Structure formats: structure tokens, C-alpha cells
């Protein structure tokens, strides 16, 4: 038949598509006494071309050393514990701030930063707006200084070359340390040197958008102006409810299951669709424009962290789309009577239960 891919229709759907699921927390990752990092980029999770991620844990006081990323911005969500970040901007400003559960940070590509756990240690999810990004190939302070001749460093910092004899020769990556002192409640006048846009956003402190089947908190560039290339969200779907059929016209979607049990289905056109089930610590990736829906198949709330590789949030819901077209047209499209279409409910984003 003209325009139809007969070869692809001859095969079972699932075998035609790569998996959209990866069990990130089941990996060992890079582990030291100071912390650990589990990575998911295109090497581990081939479909995730536009978004890479890391699950990182830091022991109390441990420091993810001063570093930057050459090819990607960093968007992070705190799951548990507390940490302090420093981030330096090319305009000479530097922000230092403490983060707790539900807080988000965004560092533009190339901006150098550090992360130090406070006294309770911490666990956070890092995401990057390039699936080729590797956390294990970042630009670290000790790596560069350790691979620069001491005479050059001596000139750069105006100290004797012998100063650098005991500095690390290789990247330390995560280093043990003592938890830092509390930030002052009132900084001395004139000591603030932060830029015009903060790198911190308290996502869980926001009012959620509520639906019949759950609720959603979104942080895009609208709410968090520095986050020009990424949007994040947390979504709760009640037992039996579903995030309805939809797609994102200009962004890929990355998901991390915080709690609960999910079944997600991705529609890839040409008769192909794939369903996978997810438990906490699993991640999903949905390519830009691919149709999808997510069901809560557990007995408790399903809690998801969502990340998109665009500063603006946009979605197209199938129910809204059909409700906006003439019933006559939709009915003729399916070859059914108009009153069948008239019974379709309009979109509700998270429906049922």
C-alpha cells in the first residue's frame, strides 16, 4: 500500500523499538568513601540522546570538587539531605546557597561550581541537556592544576613553585571533608556578590497544579529565569489514575521514579509502541514528539521527577486536540457516529481514580 511501511508492520512492536527504561539505581557506579555516582548517558542508555543523568550521594561534609562542564548545562533535584553549592559566573558574581529536599539548581553550560554535603549527607539527581555528556569526563580543578607545570602555576598565582608539591596529581572528584559552618543569617553589608539571577529554586514550596488524578509542579524558565535550556517537574499520580495520552512538541522527556509503580507506553509511529514497567530508581526517556502516557499500577501514589531539554514547557494532549476539532471531522476520521465522539471527555492532564 502506498505510504505504508509493510516491512515494519510484519514484526512485533516491541522488538522494533529500543527500551525506554533503564534501572539507574541498580547500577554500582563510581564509589568511594566520600560518595558515589551512577550515570546514565547514551553509553548506558542508548535512547537518551538529549539528556544525560547522574544519581549522586555525598557523605556528610564530602565535596564534589570545583569543576565545570564543557558541553552541557546542569539541572538538579535534591531527593534527601542537605548540601551547599557555590557557582561562579563569567560576570564575576558568585552565589553560595544551601539546598534541601525538593530544591532545584541550574548551572548554565561552562559555569564552574562545587557541591558540599552538610552534616546529614545528601542524595540528588543531576541531569544534563546533552545525552553524550559524561559526569566522568568533566573539567575538574585538581585535574587541571595537577596537569599544569608548577612554574606556570607559580606565575599564575604569584607564589613559589614549591607550593604545589603536595597538591593532587590526578582528579580527586569527590573528596572527604568536614561539614561547613552555617551560613550567616545576615551577611555583612556589601558582602553579597551574587548575580541578578539566582541558581536556586524551591520547587516543592510551590502550589501544585491539581487534577482529578494527581498534581504537578513545573519549573520552567518562566518561574526560574536562569534555567533557559531545561524545565523540570514533579508529578504525583494517584493509584489507578493516568497521565493521559500526550506529547511534547519541542522537548525530549526524562523521568526518574521517586516512589510507586508505573507503566509507561511510548508510541513511535509506523505502528510501533512499547510498554515498560518502572519501580523506584528506574528512569525513562521519551524522544521529542513521541506520544506517551503513564499509568499508576501500584497501590500508593506514584511520584515522578520529570526533566525536559527546553526552557519552556509545552505539551499537546490528545483529548484537548480532539475536543478542539469539529465532532463531524473526528467522527469521519474514525468512521464512527458523531455521538460516540460527543461522549469523549475533554483533557484533564492527570485523569481518573
Asked whether 353 and 238 are in contact (CB, 8 A), the reply is yes
Minimum Å gap between C-beta 76 and Mn ion is: 8
Identify the helix (H) or strand (E) that includes residue 307.
Answer: strand 302-308
- x/- string (CB under 5 A) for Mn ion, residues 144-163? --------------------
Minimum Å gap between C-beta 128 and Mn ion is: 8
113 catalytic residue (yes or no): yes
Minimum Å gap between C-beta 59 and Mn ion is: 18
Dist. CA 243–CA 292, nearest whole Å: 9
Which span (71-79, 213-221, 269-277, 338-346) binds Mn ion, by CB under 5 A? 71-79
Catalytic residue among 39, 59, 65, 74: 74
**Residues in CB range of 50: below 8 A, 6 or more apart:** 129, 130, 131, 252, 287, 288, 309
Q: What part of residues 114-133 is at the interface with Mn ion (CB under 5 A)?
A: none
By C-alpha distance, which of 269, 259, 252, 235 is closest to 313? 252
274 catalytic residue (yes or no): no
Specify the pairing of strand 262-269 against strand 291-296.
antiparallel
Residue 316 grid coordinates? 499537546
Which span (29-37, 73-81, 162-170, 211-219) binds Mn ion, by CB under 5 A? 73-81
Minimum Å gap between C-beta 6 and Mn ion is: 31
Minimum Å gap between C-beta 324 and Mn ion is: 19
Asked whether 210 and 218 are in contact (CB, 8 A), the reply is no
74 catalytic residue (yes or no): yes
Catalytic residue among 21, 57, 67, 272: 67
Measured from the CB atom, the residue of 107 and 164 that comes closer to Mn ion is: 107
**Residues in CB range of 97: below 8 A, 6 or more apart:** 84, 85, 105, 198, 199, 200
Measured from the CB atom, the residue of 139 and 206 that comes closer to Mn ion is: 139
DSSP 8-class letter at 208: P
Minimum Å gap between C-beta 281 and Mn ion is: 20
Catalytic residue among 57, 82, 84, 113: 113
Q: Three-state SS for 165?
A: coil
Measured from the CB atom, the residue of 74 and 95 that comes closer to Mn ion is: 74
Measured from the CB atom, the residue of 156 and 269 that comes closer to Mn ion is: 269
What string of H, E and C letters represents the secondary structure of 183-202? CCCCCCCCCCCCCCCCCEEE
Helix, strand, coil content of the chain in percent (nearest 5):
15, 40, 45
Contact with Mn ion (CB under 5 A) among 65, 253, 282, 317: 253
Which span (33-41, 48-56, 77-85, 245-253) binds Mn ion, by CB under 5 A? 245-253
95 binds Mn ion per the rule CB under 5 A: no
Find residue 201's DSSP bridge partners.
104
69 catalytic residue (yes or no): yes
Residue 124 grid coordinates? 540528588
Dist. CA 24–CA 217, nearest whole Å: 23
64 catalytic residue (yes or no): yes
Active site residues: 64, 67, 69, 74, 113, 135
Contact residues for Mn ion, defined by CB under 5 A: 74, 253
Amino acid at each position: 500500500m502506498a505510504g505504508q511501511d509493510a516491512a515494519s508492520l510484519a514484526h512485533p512492536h516491541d522488538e522494533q523499538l529500543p527500551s525506554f527504561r533503564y534501572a539507574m539505581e541498580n547500577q554500582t557506579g563510581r564509589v568511594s568513601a566520600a560518595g558515589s555516582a551512577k550515570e546514565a548517558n547514551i553509553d548506558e542508555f542508548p535512547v537518551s540522546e538529549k539528556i544525560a543523568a547522574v544519581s549522586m550521594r555525598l557523605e556528610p561534609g564530602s565535596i564534589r570538587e570545583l569543576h565545570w562542564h564543557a558541553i552541557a548545562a546542569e539541572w538538579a533535584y535534591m531527593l534527601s539531605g542537605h548540601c551547599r553549592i557555590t557557582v561562579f559566573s563569567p560576570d564575576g558574581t558568585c552565589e553560595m546557597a544551601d539546598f534541601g529536599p525538593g530544591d532545584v539548581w541550574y548551572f548554565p553550560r561552562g559555569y564552574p561550581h562545587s557541591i558540599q554535603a552538610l552534616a546529614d549527607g545528601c542524595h540528588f539527581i543531576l541531569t544534563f541537556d546533552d545525552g553524550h555528556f559524561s559526569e566522568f569526563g568533566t573539567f575538574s580543578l585538581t585535574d587541571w592544576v595537577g596537569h599544569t607545570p608548577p612554574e606556570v602555576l607559580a606565575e599564575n598565582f604569584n607564589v613559589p613553585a614549591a607550593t604545589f608539591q603536595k597538591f593532587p596529581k590526578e582528579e580527586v572528584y569527590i573528596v572527604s571533608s568536614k561539614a561547613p559552618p552555617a551560613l550567616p543569617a545576615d551577611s555583612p553589608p556589601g558582602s553579597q556578590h551574587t548575580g541578578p539571577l539566582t541558581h536556586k529554586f524551591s520547587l516543592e514550596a510551590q502550589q501544585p497544579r491539581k487534577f482529578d488524578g494527581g498534581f504537578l509542579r513545573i519549573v520552567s524558565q518562566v518561574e526560574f529565569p536562569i534555567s533557559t535550556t531545561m524545565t523540570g517537574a514533579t508529578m504525583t499520580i494517584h493509584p489507578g489514575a493516568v497521565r493521559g495520552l500526550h506529547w511534547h512538541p519541542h522537548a525530549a522527556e526524562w523521568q526518574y521514579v521517586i516512589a510507586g509503580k508505573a507503566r509507561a507506553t511510548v508510541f513511535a509511529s509506523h505502528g510501533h509502541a512499547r510498554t515498560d514497567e518502572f519501580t523506584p530508581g528506574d528512569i525513562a526517556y521519551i524522544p521529542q514528539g513521541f506520544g506517551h502516557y503513564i499509568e499508576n499500577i501500584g497501590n500508593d501514589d506514584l511520584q515522578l521527577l520529570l526533566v525536559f531539554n527546553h526552557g519552556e514547557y509545552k505539551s499537546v494532549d490528545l483529548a484537548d486536540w480532539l475536543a478542539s476539532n469539529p465532532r463531524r471531522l473526528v467522527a469521519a476520521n474514525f468512521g464512527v457516529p458523531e455521538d460516540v465522539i460527543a461522549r469523549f471527555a475533554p483533557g484533564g492532564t492527570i485523569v481518573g481514580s
